[in-house]
Amino acid sequence: MPVRLKFILLCSCLWATLSCAADTYESNPAAQALVDELVKEEGFDRASLERVFASAERQESILEAIARPAEKTKPWYEYRKIFLTKKREQKGLEFLAEHRETLARAEQTYGVPREIIVAIIGVETLYGKITGSYRVIDALSTLAFDYPKRSPFFTKELKNYLVLTRDQGFDPLALKGSYAGAMGYGQFMPSSYLSYAVDFDGDEVIDIWNNPVDAIGSVANYFSRHGWRQGEPVVFAADASEDTSAELFVRTRKDLKPVRTVGEFIEAGVVPREDVDPEEMATAMKFELEKGYEYWLGLHNFYVITRYNHSAMYAMSVYQLSQRLADRVSE
């Protein structure tokens, strides 16, 4: 057989292999069940949905990413280095300056400080620079149909995603996000988009991917709807001894909601460094440093930040970045 013909045949076989390598969800029973549900309950066109799932691809890298423990293993002194950087601070100041009027309007409308809004967007996506490279349809389909551990959650998010793309006139195959399906400047999941995203510039399209005005308004609305209290403090530094009972401090996401008063913490040996109303509800945190620990008492607004991401270290990073930005703006 001539060498050229062998080369052509080899290329043809390789192309056929690659073409078949992409697993889609056209014939997946769970996907078909979701199609039936959307047609019946939401009035979707069946043929359109079937075309979507014929194009949605299983991504092994998504399953690998969600299985990694990631941030959970990092102590505070390493975790904070990810977000509390000179670059993130400088880019935050630039974002504040560029969107000054929109942030002022969001603060006035929703009662959420502009520096908190900007810090969330800064921590989540470096102010819109890193929003995710996966197609949202691939991420949510992969996790809904091939990640049994959290299939019910991601199936609901996939359903919400298809609803929002239809209602907003977006191409469901075009939008990009994180490996978990989080989207846009503020990394909203589809359910959060449907509940909290707003058309903040009045153009009748809620675009949190490319429109920072809508993104700013949406983050502010999220905080407002989760109970942000305008003008109230967020967190206080505290003192405690290293032998203070571990049960007093946040250990898992289940411990984030305040269930003790500041007065109760004081009696137990966790004492704020400033005057705080002893009747205020609070959460105590113990963060590991390279040498020793630091202690904090988070109040209601701190808990609100944890509603965005159920992590005390995440919320503290957002708060401390916001304070750096606020301090620099007031200089």
Per residue in 186-205, pLDDT (tens digit) is: 999 999 999 999 999 999 99
Every domain range in the chain assigned CATH 1.10.8.350: 29-66+131-225
Q: What b-and-e string marks burial along 243-255, b requiring 16 or more CB atoms within 10 Å of the CB?
A: ebeeebbbeeeeb
Predicted confidence band of residue 21 (pLDDT cuts 50, 70, 90): very low
Phi (first) and psi of residue 283, to 5 degrees: -125, 135
In this predicted structure, what is the pLDDT of residue 329? 85
More confident residue, 6 or 103: 103
Between 48-52, 71-75, 79-83, 105-109, the lowest mean confidence (pLDDT) is in 71-75
Pseudo-torsion of CA 35, 39, 41, 42, nearest 10°?
Answer: 100
Instruction: Give dist(CA 179, CA 185) in Å, integer.
Output: 15
CB atoms within 10 A of CB 209: 20
Could you tell me if 67 and 143 are in contact, meaning their C-beta atoms sit under 8 angstroms apart?
Answer: no
In this predicted structure, what is the pLDDT of residue 259? 96
On average, the pLDDT of the chain sits at 93
Beta bridge pairs of residue 285 = 296
pLDDT over 70 at 328, yes or no: yes
Predicted confidence band of residue 95 (pLDDT cuts 50, 70, 90): very high
pLDDT over 80 at 5, yes or no: no
pLDDT over 60 at 212, yes or no: yes
Could you list the active site residues? 124
pLDDT over 60 at 104, yes or no: yes
Share of the chain above pLDDT 90, in %: 89
Q: What is the mean pLDDT of residues 284-305?
A: 97
Domain 29-66+131-225 CATH assignment equals 1.10.8.350: yes
Q: In which element (H, E) is residue 260 found?
A: strand 260-261
